[in-house]
Amino acid sequence: MANVNIHESWKAVLADEFKQPYFSMIKQSILKDKKAGKVIFPPGPLIFNAFDSTPFDQVKVVILGQDPYHGPGQAHGLCFSVQDGVPKPPSLENIFKELKEDLGIPVPVSGNLQRWAEQGVFLLNAGLTVVRHQANSHKSIGWHTFTDAVISKLSSQREGIVFLLWGGFAKKKASLIDGLKHHVLTSGHPSPLSANKGYWFGNKHFSKTNEILERAGQSPIQW
């Protein structure tokens, strides 16, 4: 995990977590996999891309994913996002379809959501790394403990954040969020399995998020 990039604001907030024994175990697990010749995604400098792109005090919206994409060139440290030139995965296609239906925004050519992150949309995966072609391969090495702490710190130290929890896994994280201080919107997951059953399309989370932000005197997200 050398050469990771993370904004100074997050370093301060998470200083205690980085000192915990479980975080040492995360680093040891990744190092062990690398020594065994396994390829880890995303690349080291991008593991904390969400934290580097969206400073702690600028988080306006949180979107929670589960696991980084495990195909070459896909994952770059922002949930649901892929790098420029990489085909959009089905869940991301459905996110863009709902965005078009909700706000009339044309489906973009690129699936890179970096522009969202730079506006205050914190694109957090519950697990921050994965072994190539092995979904959820790092779900048990300690990342979930770390990202639960991240959500808890946002809940306790900030106010007025819009949390978008899509699908059963994300909805379970609602228990970490103070609903009196923050806004929690839930729906089905944008994956085809859920979306095609009617649990995703029509949730209007993008317009609802902007309405909440504008009511609070904040600028809306340019989705």
Average pLDDT (32-54) is 97
What type of residue sits at position 14?
L
What is the DSSP-derived secondary structure letter of residue 97? Answer: H
Integer Cα distance of 75 and 86 in angstroms: 10
Integer Cα distance of 73 and 53 in angstroms: 19
Average pLDDT (71-100) is 96
CA-to-CA dists, residue 199 to 64, 183, 189, 190, angstroms? 17, 20, 7, 8
Integer Cα distance of 93 and 105 in angstroms: 13
Active site (annotated) includes residue 16 = no
Q: Is the pTM of this model over 0.75?
A: yes
User: Among residues 33, 52, 67, 102, which one is catalytic?
Assistant: 67
Integer Cα distance of 166 and 178 in angstroms: 18
Summarised one tens digit per residue, pLDDT across range 174-221 is: 999 999 999 999 999 999 988 778 899 999 999 999 999 999 999 999
Res 195: pLDDT: 79
Number of neighbours of residue 176 by Cβ within 10 angstroms: 17
Confidence of residue 3 (pLDDT cuts 50, 70, 90): low
Res 89: pLDDT: 96
Tokens, residue 6: 């993370």
